[in-house]
Amino acid sequence: MRRLAILGATGSIGASTLDVVARHPDRFQATALAAHRNVDALAQLCLRFRPQLAVIADPACEAALRERLAGSGCRVAAGPQAVLEAAAGSHCDTVVAAIVGAAGLESTLAAARAGKRLLLANKEAIVMAGRLLAKALEDGGGELLPLDSEHNAIFQCLPPRHANLAAAGVRRILLTASGGPFRGRTSAELAGVTPEQACAHPNWSMGRKISVDSATLMNKGLEVIEAHHLFDAAAERIEVVVHPQSIVHSLVEYVDGSVLAQLGNPDMRTAIAYALAWPERVEAGVAALDLLKVARLDFEAPDLATFRCLALAYEALRAGGTATTVLNAANEEAVAAFLERRLPFPGIAQTIDRCLNAVDSQPATDLDVVLDADLTARREAQRIIASL
């Protein structure tokens, strides 16, 4: 029986994970569920899945959650320290890291250090602190399985236990991008787009922050950096291909000309079920892929001049050190401002660009350096946003 802590249980990944868990009560058990402020949703999940531990990150919500779970047998805890306990405690052997944004960094590191099987959705953590996460995994002796659909696809297309990409005969990693809701639009057409339009992803149903990232192509930029760390791949070996149908989830090209791809309907339960059951496979509730209905698979080059965030992510990756921490922090601040209608859509890329120029990159030697770069970049981004 796999005993799971699900961090970000009330979100989109949390819901998909619990759907897979519910299909296999003989294999998977949710032993801890954590969320930020959504007491109603968390309480309902706890009453249904009966975890040992329910954690609400915002201490102001503790009393309300205690009231809702009184007599349920579920222990309630609150605050950031309690989220770390949910990630590292003995109640679980597997952690689903599905908190959105930098808020998930420390619990992701805690799970890695504690030697858990880490199912990583929280891509911002690896973008902010890829090397620290690798070290934490090494120290803890656990394993990481990617949930992000592209990285899960690449993982499936690589040979098991390969020493490195060169030894495995890999020439390139091809990350597919849907292009988002604004694919094909010009810069002028993007000036007045709304948060509602940006969050209307053509293929995937996801949280608002990642939906905006897909619309700017920053999601793909974060994923290039994620692939760099997960697969020890140089930036030059990671190429982005726009594939509007989101059926091919990514590909690996080998030196002999073979290209292996993983295909499926755009439903995160496939990647989640794969990672939960690995190395076995379990039913995920996902409809069979009907290629005749899909009929065609299109591919095109990304428009880096219009969707500048992807180019900025490559720049930050090449700069190294805390540049990717700065990229992530500026993006989080800019996306929040856009969602609150304080910043127009093109202002997201402008903020990140200016922030990368304003904040020097440092070697990401420890967590304090990373957190300091994150804070400095957020202050700078807020200043830039106010000036735009």
Ligand X SMILES: CC(=O)[C@@H](O)[C@H](O)COP(=O)(O)O
Ligand Y SMILES: NC(=O)C1=CN([C@@H]2O[C@H](COP(=O)(O)OP(=O)(O)OC[C@H]3O[C@@H](n4cnc5c(N)ncnc54)[C@H](OP(=O)(O)O)[C@@H]3O)[C@@H](O)[C@H]2O)C=CC1
Minimum separation from the CB atom of position 173 to ligand X (A)? 14
| Residue numbers 92-111 binding ligand Y by CB under 6 A | 98-100, 103
Is 150 one of the annotated binding-site residues?
yes
What are residue 283's phi and psi, to 5 degrees? Answer: -65, 140
The C-alpha atoms of residue 155 and residue 146 are separated, in whole angstroms, by 8
Beta strands in the chain (DSSP E): 2-7, 28-35, 53-56, 75-78, 94-97, 117-120, 143-146, 170-177, 238-242, 248-254, 259-263
Report the alpha-carbon angle 380-383-388, nearest 5: 125
Stretch that binds ligand X, among 155-163, 177-185, 300-308, 348-356 (CB under 6 A): 177-185
Q: Give the residue from 207, 266, 285 showing the smallest Cα distance to 41.
A: 207
| Residue numbers 15-44 binding ligand Y by CB under 6 A | 34-38
Burial of 282 (0-12, 13-18, 19+ CB in 10 A): middle
Q: Which is nearer to ligand X, 164 or 205 (CB)?
A: 205
Residue 175 is a binding residue for ligand Y (CB under 6 A): no
Residue 177 is a binding residue for ligand X (CB under 6 A): yes
Minimum separation from the CB atom of position 256 to ligand X (A)? 28
Chain length of the chain: 388
The C-alpha atoms of residue 10 and residue 45 are separated, in whole angstroms, by 8
| Residue numbers 275-294 binding ligand Y by CB under 6 A | none
The C-alpha atoms of residue 334 and residue 330 are separated, in whole angstroms, by 6
Residue 11 is a binding residue for ligand Y (CB under 6 A): yes
Select from Mn ion, ligand Y, ligand X, none the partner in contact with residue 207, using the beta carbon and a kind-dependent cut-off of 5 to 8 Å: ligand Y
Minimum separation from the CB atom of position 36 to Mn ion (A)? 22
Residue 124 is a binding residue for ligand Y (CB under 6 A): yes
Residue 69 is a binding residue for ligand Y (CB under 6 A): no
Indicate the SS3 state at residue 302.
Answer: coil
Stretch that binds ligand Y, among 11-19, 156-164, 285-293, 306-314 (CB under 6 A): 11-19
Residue 10 is a binding residue for ligand X (CB under 6 A): no
Size of the site for ligand Y (CB under 6 A): 28
Select from Mn ion, ligand X, ligand Y, none the partner in contact with residue 322, using the beta carbon and a kind-dependent cut-off of 5 to 8 Å: none
Contact with ligand X (CB under 6 A): which of 76, 105, 268, 377? 268
Residue 123 is a binding residue for ligand Y (CB under 6 A): yes
Q: Which is nearer to ligand X, 56 or 102 (CB)?
A: 102
Report the alpha-carbon angle 337-343-349, nearest 5: 95
Residues 6+ apart with CB under 8 A from 268: 12, 13, 16, 147, 149, 204
Q: Left (φ > 0), alpha (ψ -120 to 50) or beta: where does 202 sit?
A: alpha
Minimum separation from the CB atom of position 15 to ligand Y (A)? 8
Is 38 one of the annotated binding-site residues?
yes
Residue 101 is a binding residue for ligand X (CB under 6 A): no
Minimum separation from the CB atom of position 204 to ligand X (A)? 5
Contact with ligand X (CB under 6 A): which of 12, 31, 52, 214? 214
Residue 148 is a binding residue for Mn ion (CB under 5 A): yes
Q: Give the residue from 129, 121, 35 showing the smallest Cα distance to 328.
A: 129
DSSP classification of residue 237: G
The C-alpha atoms of residue 337 and residue 332 are separated, in whole angstroms, by 9
Stretch that binds ligand X, among 96-104, 176-184, 341-349, 376-384 (CB under 6 A): 176-184
- With both helix axes pointing from N to C terminus, report the angle between 218-231 and 123-140 in degrees, rounded to the nearest 10: 10
Q: Which is nearer to ligand X, 114 or 268 (CB)?
A: 268
Q: Which DSSP string corresponds to 350-376?
A: HHHHHHHHHS------SHHHHHHHHHH
Residue 331 is a binding residue for ligand X (CB under 6 A): no
Residues that bind Mn ion (CB under 5 A): 148-150
Residues that bind ligand Y (CB under 6 A): 8-14, 34-38, 57, 83, 98-100, 103, 121-124, 148, 204, 206-207, 210, 268
Residues that bind ligand X (CB under 6 A): 148-150, 177-178, 180, 204, 214, 219-220, 268
Q: Which residues are annotated as a binding site?
A: 10-13, 37-38, 122-124, 148-150, 178, 201, 207, 214, 219-220, 223
